[in-house]
């Protein structure tokens, strides 16, 4: 007999997941206009009130390279304020469960985070990043892989000594926009290296939409065979071919429990233009059309996971409303389909029903709910040639 129980087919697939939001950092870093500090504060708060417990707040790197984050300290101070803590208390949000992350690609940013921690407004968690393909790594960090690994080792010690966690990202797992094909085995080894030097968890990133569902399932199965603690691993998928939802499903099937997403599917390479001024960013874009760049949508991912019956902790309808607001903030249609079409309602949409069905059934002598002719057998008799 064919097995129809999804969780028996994929016994590692979780019943509960954690979905972190990275809109304010990864999402906004790609925007070519400055998103106001007031708007950033609004979405940080509202995402937390909607159920987010792991949230990327900002980038602590040099604002000269990414001026979108010139308000980094103000955002962190806002989330550390007594006012915000009291708002959390009134709304039943356990403040101590929040994990506030700041990106710190280089050591200078880590040093800045340590100083902010000493002032009482620092993040809980930092993030550094390596790519398995060195040209991509160099474009992001400006240094070689061996040199960066030693820098990361120093930074993790500083981070841990200051009472913060470090996430180590592994990128170009399924391919590089610069160097092309990569080896999954390299990413598995890099993951072990992050943990060896003291990282708290690892973000496994598809930064250019190279991943396919079979390779995602294969990779995360390899990872969990080697490092079975699911709390260590975070799946991070970009969307360039409209197949990232399949990657999310494949990661679930492999047993991954932690994911990241952005409102509207925003995100991508740091902008090299802001408002009316060119900026350095990370140089030329890797793509020709910005409409096809970004991460998986928080809204669509939540609807997908919610309708699978997997626990996630969010108020889905509230997130969909935030997605609609975000389109006004950005000033354009974003990439979520769920903010337009909503969730699949079990009660349907009776307002679209054509009038007169019941009168027609009565006229034909049919009973309410009758779906087959009255003189037909209750069960179909399948022709022999179609039987298994």
pLDDT > 90? residue 348: no
pTM for the model: 0.94
Domains and CATH numbers, the chain: 14-341 (3.20.20.70), 350-386 (no CATH)
Do residues 216 and 296 touch, judged by C-beta distance below 8 A?
no
Averaged confidence pLDDT in the chain: 95
pLDDT > 90? residue 284: no
d(CA 128, CA 29): 16
pLDDT value at position 218?
A: 98
Segment 69-78 long-range contacts (CB within 8 Å, at least 24 positions apart): 69/25, 69/29, 71/37, 71/40, 72/102, 73/116, 73/121, 74/37, 75/24, 75/37, 75/40, 75/41, 75/44, 76/100, 76/102, 76/116, 76/121, 76/122, 76/123, 77/121, 78/41, 78/44
Residues 6+ apart with CB under 8 A from 383: none
Structure tokens at 108: 């200078």
pLDDT > 90? residue 241: no
Between these two residues, 94 and 283, which has the higher pLDDT value? 94
pLDDT > 80? residue 141: yes
pLDDT value at position 346?
A: 87
pLDDT value at position 349?
A: 87
d(CA 48, CA 53): 6
């Amino acid at each position: 007999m064919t097995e129809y129980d999804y969780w028996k087919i994929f016994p590692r697939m979780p019943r509960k997941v954690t979905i972190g939001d990275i809109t304010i950092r990864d999402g906004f870093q790609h925007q070519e206009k400055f998103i106001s500090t007031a708007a950033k504060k609004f979405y940080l708060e509202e995402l937390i009130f909607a159920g987010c417990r792991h949230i990327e707040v900002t980038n602590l790197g040099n604002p000269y390279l990414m001026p979108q984050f010139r308000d980094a300290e103000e955002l962190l101070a806002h989330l550390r304020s007594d006012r915000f803590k009291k708002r959390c208390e009134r709304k039943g949000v356990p403040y101590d469960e929040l994990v506030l992350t700041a990106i710190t690609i280089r050591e200078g940013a880590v040093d800045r985070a340590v100083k902010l921690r000493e002032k009482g407004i620092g993040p809980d968690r930092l993030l550094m990043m390596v790519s398995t393909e060195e040209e991509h790594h160099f474009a992001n960090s400006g240094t070689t892989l061996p040199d960066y690994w030693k820098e990361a080792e120093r930074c993790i010690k500083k981070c841990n000594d200051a009472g913060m966690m470090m996430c180590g990202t592994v990128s170009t797992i399924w391919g590089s926009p610069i160097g092309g094909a990569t080896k999954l085995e390299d990413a598995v080894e890099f993951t072990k290296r992050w943990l060896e030097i003291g990282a708290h968890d690892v973000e496994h990133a598809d930064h250019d939409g190279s991943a396919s569902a079979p390779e995602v399932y294969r990779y995360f199965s390899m990872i969990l065979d080697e490092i079975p603690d699911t709390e260590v691993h975070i799946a991070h998928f970009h969307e360039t071919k409209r197949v990232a939802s399949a990657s999310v499903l494949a990661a679930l099937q492999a047993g991954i429990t932690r994911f990241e997403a952005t409102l509207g599917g925003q995100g991508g390479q740091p902008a090299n233009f802001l408002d009316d001024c060119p900026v350095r960013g990370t140089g030329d874009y890797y793509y020709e059309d910005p409409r096809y760049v970004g991460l998986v949508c928080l809204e669509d991912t939540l609807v997908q996971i919610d309708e699978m019956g997997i626990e996630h902790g969010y108020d889905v309808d509230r997130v969909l409303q935030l997605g609609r607001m975000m389109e006004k903030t950005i000033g354009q249609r974003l990439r979520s389909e769920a903010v337009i079409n909503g969730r699949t309602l079990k009660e349907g949409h009776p307002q679209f029903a054509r009038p007169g069905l019941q009168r027609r059934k009565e006229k034909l002598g049919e009973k309410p709910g009758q779906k087959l002719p009255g003189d037909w057998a209750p069960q179909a008799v399948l022709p022999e040639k179609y039987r298994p």
